[in-house]
Amino acid sequence: MAAPGENLRINSDRLWDSIMEMAKIGPGIAGGNNRQTLTDADGEGRHLFKRWCEAAGLEMGVDEMGTMFARREGTEPDLPPVYVGSHLDTQPTGGKYDGVLGVLGGLEIVRSLNELDIKTKHPIVVTNWTNEEGARFAPAMMASGVFAGVLDQADVYEHVDKDGKKFGEELERIGWKGTEKVGERKIHAFFELHIEQGPILEDEGIDIGVVTHGQGLKWLQVTLTGREAHTGSTPMPKRRNAGLGMARVIELVHEIAMDYQPDAVGAVGHMEVYPNSRNIIAGRTVFTIDIRSPEKEVLDAMDGRIREGIDTICEALDIKYQIEQVGHFDPVAFDPGCVKAVRDAAERLGYTHRNIVSGAGHDACWINRVAPTAMVMCPCVDGLSHNEAEEISKEWAAAGADVLFHAVVETAVIVE
C-alpha cells in the first residue's frame, strides 16, 4: 500500500507554461529577462502571480517589504504553515528560471493539491520574496534579510539605485508596499527550489541537488579617489589614476581567490568610472568586490588580505580609498530534517541525487535563521546563470518540482 502521496507528481506542462508566461514580462534583449526589483515589469509580474494565486483559491498577504504570501488553508488553520517559494525579480541580464522556478514550482504544488483534492494539516504558503537579486538595490536577499531580522527595514528603505531612486519610494510607486509587519509570520518549515546556477549536476548527469549548505558571501563596495587630468599632457609619474587602482584591485581579488581553491571565488562585477571620458584620467572609481567561500575562516582571511592589498595599491598610486561592506552572510547549514525530507523524496521518486553546497545566495539562506529550511536544486545548461542564455529542460524542472512537492506535503502532513 503506497504511503499517502507516494505517487504524487506535479503537472509539468502547466508548470512549464506558467514559467514561459512569466518570462514574457520584462523581456531582456537576448531572450532572457530584465525584470529588476520594483520596476514596472516587477509590478506586472507580481500582478500576474497574484491573479494565478487567486485563481487557485489562495489568500494573498503582502508585508511592508512587498513580499507576497499566498496561503492555502490547512485543516488545522492554527498550525504554522509550510512556506515554499523563491523570487520573481531578475538580474538586468537574467534568465527565465532563476527564482521563478521556485515561486511557480510552489504554485504548481498548490494547483496539483487542488486538482487531487488533497488536504494538508498545516496551511501552505507560496512566497515571492522582494529583491532577492540585489542588482538594483544592494544587498541581495534584502526582504528575506529584513524578515530574518538581520537587515533593518528603515535603513534599506533608504538604499538607492544608480539613478538615486530610493527602495522605499519605488516600493510605494509600484503599489506593492503591504501593511503586514515584516517577520511576524510563524514558519513551520521553508523549502526553496532553485536552478543550481553552476555546472556540477549537469556534468555528473544528476537530476537533483540536495542542498546541505550555502556558502558565505561578502560584498565590499570600494571608492577610489585620485585626480582627473589630461591623458595626453600629464606625465606618467604625476598621475593619480583611480582607473589603474581599480584594475590592480580586480587582479588582486582574483589572485587571492585562486589561493583558496577549489572552493573560494572572487570577482568584481559592478564597476563605475568617473568621468568616464576617453581623454581624462579616471579621478574616481566605484566598484563592488564579491567574495565567497563555504568556510567562514577563508571568507574572513580573503577579506583581510584584500583590505591590506587595497591599502598598498593606493599608497603606491597616491590615491585615497573607502571600503563599505554592502552585503554579508556567513556560510549556512540547512536543517537536517528538511534536508532529509528532500533526499528521501528524490530517492522515493527514483531521481538521481547528490549533496551539494549552494554557490549562490538564496532567500533560504536567511530564512534558515528563523525556521527549519532546505533547498532543492535542478541542473541548468552549461551551469550558466545570470546570463540571458540561462536554460533548463522541462524534465529537470519537473523533477525538481516533484521533489519539492513531496518534501512540502510530507512536512505539511496529508490528511487522509
Contact window for ligand HGY (CB under 6 A) among 69-77, 113-121, 128-136, 309-317? 128-136
Q: Match 583590505 to its residue by C-alpha cell.
A: 307
- Shortest distance (Å) from residue 383 CB to ligand HGY: 14
Nearest CA among 398, 388, 386, 389 for reference residue 376: 398
Label the pairing between strands 208-214 and 373-378: antiparallel
Label the pairing between strands 82-86 and 124-128: parallel
Are 387 and 243 in contact, with CB atoms under 8 Å apart?
A: no
Q: Which of 133, 196, 391, 410 binds ligand HGY (CB under 6 A)?
A: 133
Residue 99 contact partner, candidates Mn ion, ligand HGY, none, CB within 5 to 8 A by sort of partner: Mn ion
Are 66 and 143 in contact, with CB atoms under 8 Å apart?
A: yes
Contact window for ligand HGY (CB under 6 A) among 48-56, 127-135, 188-196, 247-255? 127-135
Please give the residues from 59 up to 98 whose contact with ligand HGY meets the rule CB under 6 A: none
Q: How many CB atoms are located within 10 Å of the residue 135 CB?
A: 21
Question: Cell for 304?
Answer: 583581510
Q: How many CB atoms are located within 10 Å of the residue 273 CB?
A: 17
361 contacts ligand HGY (rule: CB under 6 A): yes
Of residues 270 and 320, the one with the C-beta less far from ligand HGY: 270
Distance between CA 134 and CA 8 in Å, rounded? 35
Angle among Cα 288, 291, 292 to the nearest 5 degrees reads 145
- Shortest distance (Å) from residue 393 CB to Mn ion: 18
Residue 106 contact partner, candidates ligand HGY, Mn ion, none, CB within 5 to 8 A by sort of partner: none
Are 284 and 242 in contact, with CB atoms under 8 Å apart?
A: yes
Distance between CA 219 and CA 324 in Å, rounded? 8
How many residues touch ligand HGY (CB under 6 A)?
6
Contact window for ligand HGY (CB under 6 A) among 35-43, 131-139, 258-266, 309-317? 131-139
Of residues 133 and 192, the one with the C-beta less far from ligand HGY: 133
132 contacts ligand HGY (rule: CB under 6 A): yes
364 contacts ligand HGY (rule: CB under 6 A): no
Of residues 18 and 112, the one with the C-beta less far from Mn ion: 18
Q: What are the residues binding ligand HGY (CB under 6 A)?
A: 132-134, 140, 360-361
